[in-house]
Amino acid sequence: MPAVSVRALRGPAVRRLLVLRREGKLTTGRVRSAADVLGVRERAVWRWLAAAERDEAAARAPGERAAYSGRFTVTDEVRALLGLWKGNVAAVHRELAARAARGEGDPPPSIPTLHRAIRRDLSPGERAGLVGGERAARKHDVFLARSRGWRNKVWETDHMQVPVLVDVDGKPRRPWITWFTDCATNAITGVAVTPVHPSRESVLAALRSAVLREDPYGPFGGLPEKVQVDRGKDFLSRTVTAAFDLLDVTVEDLPAYTPHLKGTVEGLNRTVESMFLAALPGYARQPRPGKRPSRPKDEVLLSFEDFTARLLAWTRWWNTEHRPAPLRGRTPLEAWQDDPTPLRDVSAADLWTFTLEDAGSRTLTTRGIRFKKRDYVGAWMTGQAGIQVRVRFMPHHDHRIEVYHAATGRYLGPADLADQATEEQVSAVRRARAARSRRLKKDLEASQRERYAAVTQAEAPQRLGALTTAQAEAELAQAAGTDLSALAMPDLIPPAAPPADWRTPPSLVTRTAPGRPAPVPSEPAPGRVPGSTAQTTEDGDAS
């Protein structure tokens, strides 16, 4: 039997006592017993009975103040001020008093009366929303529980940035996790870890690990009927949506900022932090002593490989040993095996093909396959020059492509990037790019750093930093010269015509500008007789 509050019993108790009083059966002992049950004084019950005899409507809510015409109620103006002052009732009272002093409204009631009116006229969700916004108001809403359904009926997927610093190539970074969960069994069907920001490649890698049921991914997997996403551009990219279409999987794009619509994966995001990530070295949200918390200097971070291995081990523990409360004492593995729903499997080769991005048709030449202005070659290409092929590739994996026959769709083999740079060259290029980026960032910060004078009264801001006229002209001249040199086009103005006695090749005659010839050098050119050098007058005629 559901529990009933004592306050809700007041109305039925008073109405029952009123009936007994009219029948002449009411005694003092019964009133005293009702007061003990309701947790109030005996005279309060007698007062409620007297009010109910005058007006039976008072018996509906005994003890509540009756509404009257002069009672203060919360208006739209008060709501707007509560939102402006983030629920500060004292500030709202000062604002209403100031407006009344200017003749813009009635004087406000006392602060206790204003508090009572707000508690009476606004629900807890409305009060929380005026203070903390819609996210705070949702905590007071009631949500219907979703039916669990059967395995592979609905999957949910999401990205999560890990609050743990991990050593990635000598730099502390916070990796990202992309995973798929089954709503019926709470099983983690697939997971992928990315050292930096995830992309559509992360989604495709997690999807392959979720669908395949072979070792080490099984026994969870198969093709789901529907996958729910939350408007992430990676999940709705052309490559990912095309892969889902080929696999006959429906993608449901949920509205933005509605985490309650995919509670399974959102609950997993919160649970993994408290159950696993909080105990790892490098946890970024660990409480630390001191006013300015910082990481200890001697802290040793996990490598990316070690972190990934530990996460996969925790995922196996979650699927095989953990017993979530919604499963009523069963593990996700037991719930999965108890479900007789047939599974839709797809081969690993077909799944790999479906989760690659299509780059269109190309012609296989003697130099290989031209893709993104680079050549790709493979050992299987011998004797195949001239055929039409179709290129598919994994996003951001530009070191290798997959090649298929354009007419039959038969897989031909992989092709690797020709003349690929060594690791030393790539590291040198990355260091040069990083140094250039640091210099550019420093220059931009220096150019945007401006100082203003502090003021003690309302006045226009005064920018600090004085320049002399000479300094300003010199800096402007340098900037103008830099801009013109950056925009210069050497091939726009052809060179001047050579002297008439020079032998100019016919292919260069059309590329010189007619008119004034170029000046003759002071020293004879190699291979020429010194006495045969022509003299050039100021008018440009040779003599």
**Domain's final residue, options 91, 114, 140:** 140
CA separation for the pair 481, 475 (Å, rounded): 10
Q: Write out pLDDT tens, residues 480-509.
A: 655 555 556 656 666 677 787 887 777 777
Specify if 462 maps to a domain.
no
Q: Write out pLDDT tens, residues 300-325.
A: 899 999 999 999 999 999 999 999 98
Given this model, what pLDDT does residue 525 score? Answer: 45
- The arithmetic mean of pLDDT across residues 372-378, rounded, is 89
List the beta strands (DSSP E) in 483-527. 496-497, 513-517
Most confident range, picked from 39-48, 362-371, 493-502: 362-371
Out of 13-22, 60-69, 99-108, pick the least confident.
Answer: 60-69
Given this model, what pLDDT does residue 424 score? Answer: 79
Given this model, what pLDDT does residue 400 score? Answer: 86
Check whether residue 83 and residue 175 sit in a common domain: no
Concatenated DSSP letters of 311-363: HHHHHHHHHHT---GGGTS--HHHHHHH---------HHHHHHHTSEEEEEEE
Strands lying side by side in the sheet with 188-194: 188-194, 176-182, 154-161, 226-229, 250-253
Print the SS3 string covering 84-127.
HCCCCHHHHHHHHHHHHHCCCCCCCCCHHHHHHHHHHHCCHHHH
Given this model, what pLDDT does residue 183 score? Answer: 93
CA separation for the pair 389, 379 (Å, rounded): 15
Specify if 526 maps to a domain.
no
Specify if 67 maps to a domain.
no
Given this model, what pLDDT does residue 480 score? Answer: 67
Given this model, what pLDDT does residue 356 score? Answer: 86
Residue 292: which pLDDT band, with cuts at 50, 70 and 90?
A: low
Could you tell me which residue, 73 or 478, shows the higher pLDDT? 73
Q: Please say whether the dihedral angle defined by the alpha carbons of residues 517, 523, 527 and 533, taken in this order, is positive or negative.
A: positive
**Domain's final residue, options 380, 403, 429:** 429
Given this model, what pLDDT does residue 543 score? Answer: 36
- CA neighbours within 13 Å on the CB side: how many for 207? 30
For residue 480, which amino acid is it? A
Check whether residue 394 and residue 301 sit in a common domain: no
Check whether residue 211 and residue 107 sit in a common domain: no
CA separation for the pair 180, 192 (Å, rounded): 9
Domain count along the chain: 4
228 in Cβ contact with 156 (< 8 Å): yes
Check whether residue 395 and residue 361 sit in a common domain: yes
Given this model, what pLDDT does residue 69 score? Answer: 64
Check whether residue 279 and residue 227 sit in a common domain: yes
CA separation for the pair 222, 180 (Å, rounded): 12
Check whether residue 370 and residue 264 sit in a common domain: no
Specify if 436 maps to a domain.
no
Check whether residue 378 and residue 314 sit in a common domain: no
Residue 516: which pLDDT band, with cuts at 50, 70 and 90?
A: low
Check whether residue 270 and residue 161 sit in a common domain: yes
- In this structure, what CATH number is given to the domain that contains residue 386? 2.30.30
Given this model, what pLDDT does residue 150 score? Answer: 93
Check whether residue 310 and residue 191 sit in a common domain: yes
Given this model, what pLDDT does residue 488 score? Answer: 60
For residue 452, the cross-strand partners are 463
Long-range contacts made by residues 438-447, C-beta under 8 angstroms, separation at least 24?
none
Given this model, what pLDDT does residue 526 score? Answer: 46
**Domain's final residue, options 117, 140, 163:** 140
Specify if 196 maps to a domain.
yes
For 168, list phi and psi in degrees, rounded to 5: -120, 105
Element (H, E) at 426: helix 423-448
Specify if 496 maps to a domain.
no
Q: Write out pLDDT tens, residues 167-216.
A: 998 889 999 999 999 999 999 999 999 998 888 888 998 999 999 988 77
* Mean pLDDT for the chain overall: 83
- The arithmetic mean of pLDDT across residues 390-409, rounded, is 87
152 in Cβ contact with 343 (< 8 Å): yes
- In this structure, what CATH number is given to the domain that contains residue 191? 3.30.420.10
For 377, list phi and psi in degrees, rounded to 5: -130, 160
Check whether residue 48 and residue 83 sit in a common domain: no
Looking up tokens 């002593």 gives 289
* Residue 282 in this model has a pLDDT that exceeds 60: yes
Evaluate if pTM is beyond 0.75: no
- The arithmetic mean of pLDDT across residues 445-473, rounded, is 76
* Residue 523 in this model has a pLDDT that exceeds 50: no
Given this model, what pLDDT does residue 387 score? Answer: 93
Strands lying side by side in the sheet with 369-371: 357-363, 388-393, 400-405, 411-417, 374-377, 369-371
Check whether residue 164 and residue 208 sit in a common domain: yes
CA separation for the pair 435, 229 (Å, rounded): 39
* Residue 515 in this model has a pLDDT that exceeds 70: no
Calculate the dihedral angle through the C-alpha atoms of 340, 344, 345, 349, rounding to the nearest 10 degrees. -170
Check whether residue 207 and residue 290 sit in a common domain: yes
For residue 376, which amino acid is it? Y
**How many C-beta atoms surround the C-beta of residue 191 within 10 A?**
20
Q: Write out pLDDT tens, residues 342-359.
A: 999 998 888 888 888 888
- The arithmetic mean of pLDDT across residues 230-258, rounded, is 87
Please list, in sequence order, all residues whose beta carbon lies within 8 angstroms of the beta carbon of residue 249, skipping any fewer than 6 positions away: 223, 224, 225, 226, 227
Given this model, what pLDDT does residue 67 score? Answer: 59
- The arithmetic mean of pLDDT across residues 513-522, rounded, is 52
Specify if 121 maps to a domain.
yes
Given this model, what pLDDT does residue 114 score? Answer: 93
- The arithmetic mean of pLDDT across residues 122-128, rounded, is 92
Specify if 473 maps to a domain.
no
Residue numbers of the domain that contains 403? 356-429
Q: Write out pLDDT tens, residues 414-453.
A: 898 888 777 777 777 778 888 888 888 887 777 666 777 7
Given this model, what pLDDT does residue 409 score? Answer: 86
- The arithmetic mean of pLDDT across residues 534-542, rounded, is 43
Concatenated DSSP letters of 179-226: EEEETTT--EEEEEEESSS--HHHHHHHHHHHH--STTT-SS-S--SE
Residue 85: which pLDDT band, with cuts at 50, 70 and 90?
A: very high
Given this model, what pLDDT does residue 484 score? Answer: 52
153 in Cβ contact with 225 (< 8 Å): yes
Element (H, E) at 477: helix 469-487
Closest by CA position to 376, among listed 368, 384, 385: 368
The end-to-end CA distance of the chain, in Å, is 122
* Residue 160 in this model has a pLDDT that exceeds 50: yes
